[in-house]
Amino acid sequence: MFEYLIYVKELKRLSKERHKLSEKFAELEKSYKGEDDHGHLSFLGHEQYELDCWIEYYKTTYLKSKADKLLVPMPDAKDAEMYRSCNFDDEQGDLNILTTKGMHKLRVMLREESKARREVVAFWFTIITGLIGATIGLVSVLKA
C-alpha cells in the first residue's frame, strides 16, 4: 500500500512538470510566429519526451514490483511489441519500458493472479464458516 502511494505521488509530480512544460512549449511556439526558434522548441520537445519516458518508467517499475510480489512473469524482454527502449543519458544506458500493449498484458495477468488468490481465500472462508455453523448447530442440539 505504501509503495502505491509513493507511485501515485511521483506520477502526479511528473504530470505537473509535464503540464508546465506543455504550457511553456505552447507559449514559446506562439511567440515565434513562424520565425526561426534557434532550437528552443526542439529542446522543449525533447524535455517533454524525457518526462514521458520517466512517467512510463515509473509505471513499468511499479507493475514489475507487483508482478514480483505475485510471482507473475514479466513479458519477454525481447518482444518489441511489449517493450521499447528509452535512454535517460545516464550510466545505465537504454532501459526497457513497457509499451501500452505490454502494460495491458501484464495488468491482465496480475488481475488473474489476484483473482485466483482471492478465490482460494473465499473458498477456505466458506468452508470454515460452514464448519463453525455446523458445530454451533450440533452443540445446540446436544444441549437441548
Cell 511567440 maps to which residue? Answer: 31
Per-residue pLDDT of the chain (144 residues; tens, 9 = 90+): 788 899 999 999 999 999 999 898 888 878 877 677 677 778 888 889 889 999 999 999 999 999 999 999 999 988 899 999 988 777 777 889 999 999 999 999 999 999 999 999 999 999 999 999 999 999 999 987
What's the CA gap between 117 and 82, in Å, rounded?
Answer: 26
Give pLDDT tens digits for 47-82.
Answer: 898 899 999 999 999 999 999 999 999 999 888 999
What's the CA gap between 114 and 16, in Å, rounded?
Answer: 32
Decide: residue 60, CB within 10 A, 0-12 exposed, 13-18 middle, 19+ buried.
Answer: buried
Parallel/antiparallel/unpaired status of strands 94-98 and 83-87: antiparallel
Q: How far is CA 7 from the centre of its chain?
A: 8
The pTM assigned to this predicted structure is 0.80
